[in-house]
Copies of this chain bind each other. A is one copy, B any other.
Amino acid sequence: MKRILYDLAAADPALRFSPYCWRIKLALAHKNLPFETIPWRFTEKDKLAFSGQTKVPVLVDGETIIHDSQAIAEYLEITYANQTSLFGDAASRALTYFIKQWTELTLHPVIVKIVLPDIYPQIDQNDQPYFRQSREAVFGKTIEMMAAERDSHLPAFDSILAPIRRTLAAQSFIAGNAPSYADHIVFGALQWARLMSRLTLFDDQDAITLWMAALLNTYGLSQ
């Protein structure tokens, strides 16, 4: 059976930067499910037409087509119930939901202010007009204005990450001795930041760097 993930790519097809796609790549690895990825660009709507979607992640799992990272994670948890759980028990799943909300409502908004100006030049030329227009409409300023303000957001980024760093000083993963989907969610955000920023956001000895490496290593992944 073929298992294919449509995965957001930059101009360099090896540069995969979607935080939501990273969640699913880690979730698939956590469930020990082999998969292939197809690089996808923002404007390649035709490539996703078969699914009825206009955004990734889209997972094709044999005969099943499923989209939206949360729906995909829940599908994997149910469909591959005999494999290691992504969420743990009911309380862990609920606490993971808070971490998802924190990631999307607190962490993502500061990351986007730091990395968006660095994403623009790295995406495919065909994507750039769409990206510029849609993001400038959302933020009410040009990419160049965002670039000029970029460094002013670094202190907030550090403050927001303080609870993660403090947690990782006491335990190997956010979910304890072994990673769970809570780790995947936060990793997705920080991988997006790390891959696309021209700044060195995390130095070699940063607890975040070590945790990200350990997480990838758990699943035998690189990058």
Contact = CB atoms under 8 A, between A and B. Distances in A.
Contacts of A98: 99, 163-164, 167, 174, 182
A178 B176 CA distance: 22
Contacts of A93: 176
Interface string A146-180: 00000000000001101110110011011111101
A176 B105 contact: no
Interface of A: 88-99, 101-102, 104-106, 159-160, 162-164, 166-167, 170-171, 173-178, 180, 182
20 contacts: A88-B89, A89-B92, A90-B177, A91-B175, A93-B176, A94-B173, A94-B175, A94-B176, A95-B95, A98-B163, A98-B167, A98-B174, A98-B182, A101-B162, A101-B163, A102-B163, A105-B163, A106-B106, A106-B159, A106-B162
